[in-house]
Amino acid sequence: MPSPEPRHVVAHVERTADPAVLRWVVHEPQVGGDGTAVALEEASALGRLLGDGLLASVHVRRGEVRAQAGAGHEWAGLVDVVDAAMRADLAAGALPAGGSDGGPAQVDIEELQRVVNRAAGSLTELHGGRVEVVGVEGAVLQVRMHGTCDGCSFTGATLERLVLPAARRALPEVAAVEVVR
């Protein structure tokens, strides 16, 4: 059986607010997804980069693919390799096809809670408090502060310096963190 024709790829890469994440805007072929990390076949070009630790994650949404550099790797040395892998996987149809409505990503609250705990849990627990992930509304991570963190004057700094960058790495769409009651 002949292998399918490779798809024509029209895409360009952009920076994001998070220096560890780059965004490929994909015009052709159509891609889609809910923004969660995609499981890629190890045989795919991006799958190999994930397996080698050069990439930490790949997220697909309608019209875009976001990739996070692996720990200890910087985009200056990765962008050409990842761009080539991205184009190869797009041409081969290795990424989810379009058709998603581009709506909000399905968010794994438990995973976001683990991310927040790794980023700020030891600090907040040391002071007798805790940050609870409530949900994501649009591009806003909603959290509830417990114990001594509730009403603490350093809450804003903790959220801005520790929680927000970690949340963005896990879910690139997050643009802000808000405390809810």
The long-range contacts involving 154-158, CB below 8 angstroms and separated by at least 24 positions, are 155/179, 158/120, 158/123, 158/124, 158/131
Span 142-153, pLDDT tens digits: 999 999 999 999
Q: Which of 24-38, 51-65, 76-90 has the lowest mean pLDDT?
A: 24-38
DSSP label at residue 142: E
CATH architecture classification, 109-179:
2-Layer Sandwich (3.30)
Between residues 61 and 44, the one the model is more confident about: 44
Span 116-171, pLDDT tens digits: 999 999 999 999 999 999 988 888 999 999 999 999 999 999 999 999 998 888 78
Distance separating alpha carbons of residues 113 and 6, to the nearest angstrom: 40
DSSP three-state, residue 94: coil
What pLDDT, on the 0 to 100 scale, is given for residue 4?
56
> Any idea where the domains of the chain sit in the sequence?
10-92, 109-179
Place of tokens 């991310």: 115
CATH number of 10-92: 3.30.1370.70
Token reading at 131: 């940050």
- Least Cα distance to 20 among 141, 177, 172 occurs for 172
